[in-house]
């Protein structure tokens, strides 16, 4: 199986699992939560199992995966989510970027699978405890899927575009990337105060 076909198959599996597990987790969370962390609601055991299954398939540990496959993203995608050399972020008004970022956070048209950022991260959900750390910092998905020891916040936005949302990363000099990054900076501040 070539790299592009393998990537598409992994993204299809991850999308399928997310489309099933996220609504189930939402229903269960509304009915009652069995786990609470210092930062709020945690996943219940069945949701953790579903997440583990999705992560296993994304890493090539699912049924029918050949040994040695599933090593994360393609080299081209690994390069696409990394800040380019000489990178200068889009410079705009922080308040207007934050407003646009909030709209983009809820926009399913950014993905190829009907997800938005909010699908996984509504009301502060779905962030690892490391989200409170200063960027750049270690992010498990950045390391396991993209080979990055540390990621910047804008790189994390790009990683989420490529992996759960199954879309191409945003243009590095785009207002959209700057807007989502600014909105995520605000989300990070809220997360730290929990």
14-71: per-residue pLDDT in tens? 665 555 455 545 433 443 333 344 444 444 333 343 344 444 444 444 433 333 334 5
What is the model's pTM? 0.66
Domain positions in the chain are 3-192
Q: How confident is the model at residue 132 (pLDDT cuts 50, 70, 90)?
A: very high
Of the candidates 125, 127, 107, the residue with the CA atom closest to the CA atom of residue 179 = 107
Q: What is the pLDDT of residues 178-192, one digit of tens each?
A: 999 999 999 999 999
**What proportion of the chain, given as a percentage, has pLDDT over 90?**
60
DSSP 105-162: HT-GGGSSSS--HHHHHGGGTT--GGGGSPSSB--HHHHHHH--SSB-HHHHHHHHHH
For residue 121, give both structure tokens. 């991260």
Question: What distance in Å separates the CA atoms of residue 160 and residue 155, rounded to the nearest whole number?
Answer: 9
Question: What distance in Å separates the CA atoms of residue 86 and residue 8, rounded to the nearest whole number?
Answer: 31
């Amino acid at each position: 199986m070539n790299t592009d076909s393998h990537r598409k198959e992994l993204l299809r599996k991850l999308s399928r699992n997310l489309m099933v597990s996220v609504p189930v987790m939402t229903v269960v969370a509304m009915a009652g939560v069995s786990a609470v962390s210092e930062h709020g609601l945690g996943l219940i055991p069945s949701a953790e199992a579903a997440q583990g299954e999705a992560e296993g398939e994304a890493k090539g540990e699912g049924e029918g995966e050949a040994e040695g496959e599933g090593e994360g993203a393609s080299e081209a995608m690994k390069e696409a989510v990394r800040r380019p050399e000489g990178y200068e972020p889009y410079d705009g008004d922080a308040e207007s970027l934050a407003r646009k970022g909030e709209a983009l956070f809820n926009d399913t048209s950014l993905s190829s699978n009907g997800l938005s950022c909010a699908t996984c991260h509504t009301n502060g959900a779905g962030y690892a405890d490391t989200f409170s750390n200063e960027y750049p910092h270690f992010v498990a998905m950045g390391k396991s899927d993209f080979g990055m020891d540390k990621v910047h916040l804008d790189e994390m936005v790009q990683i989420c575009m490529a992996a759960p949302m199954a879309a191409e990363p945003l243009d590095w000099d785009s207002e959209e990337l700057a807007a989502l990054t600014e909105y995520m900076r605000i989300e990070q501040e809220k997360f730290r105060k929990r």
